[in-house]
Chains A and B, each alone.
Chain A
Amino acid sequence: MPTLKLKHLLAIRWFHWINFPLLALMIWSGFLIYWAFPTYFLGPVRFPNSIFQAFHMDHRLADGMAMHFVFMWLFTINGILYVAYTIFSGEWRLLVPRSLSTFRDAWHVALYDFHLRKEKPLQDKYNAAQQVTYTAIIVMGIGSVLTGFAIYKPAQLYWLAALFGGYPMARLVHFSLTVGYCAFFVVHIVQVMLSGWNNFRSMVIGYELVQGHD
Chain B
Amino acid sequence: MTNRHPEFTVSEQKLKWELRRRSRRDFLIGGAAAVAAFSGYEWLMGGKEDNSLPVRERKVLNGNGNLGVKYVSDSHLMPTYSKADYSYLKANGDIGLDPAFKPGTWQLKVQMGLNGIPDLSLKMDDIKTLPPVTMITRFCCVEGWSAVAGWKGVRFSDFTKKYFPPARQLPRYVYMTTPDEDYYVGLDTPSAMHPQTLLAYELNDKPLTPEHGAPLRLVIPTKYGIKNIKRIGSIQYTDDRPTDYWYEQGYDWFAGL
Contact = CB atoms under 8 A, between A and B. Distances in A.
A62 interface: yes
A156 B72 contact: yes
B144 A34 contact: yes
A205 B79 contact: no
Interface stretch (B11-19, B105-113, B125-133): B11-19
Most B C-beta atoms less than 10 A away, residue of A4, A17, A171: A4
Contact of B252 (A2, A69, A158): A69
Nearest to A62: B250
Q: Secondary structure of the A side of the interface?
A: helix
Contact of B53 (A66, A152, A209): A66
B44 A70 contact: yes
Nearest to B247: A62
Interface in B78-93: 78-79
Most B C-beta atoms less than 10 A away, residue of A21, A34, A63, A89: A63
B74 to A, nearest CB: 12
B79 A62 contact: no
Interface in A78-134: 89
Given A66-B57, A155-B257, A3 B52 contact: no
Interface in A156-170: 156, 158, 161-162, 167-168
B33 A204 contact: no
A3 B61 contact: no
A174 B52 CA distance: 27
Contact of B257 (A62, A89, A156): A156
Contact of B26 (A37, A89, A205): A205
A62 B53 contact: yes
Interface in B36-79: 37, 44, 52-53, 57-58, 60-61, 64, 68, 71-72, 76-79
10 contacts: A5-B7, A36-B144, A37-B144, A62-B53, A62-B249, A66-B57, A66-B250, A152-B257, A155-B222, A207-B8
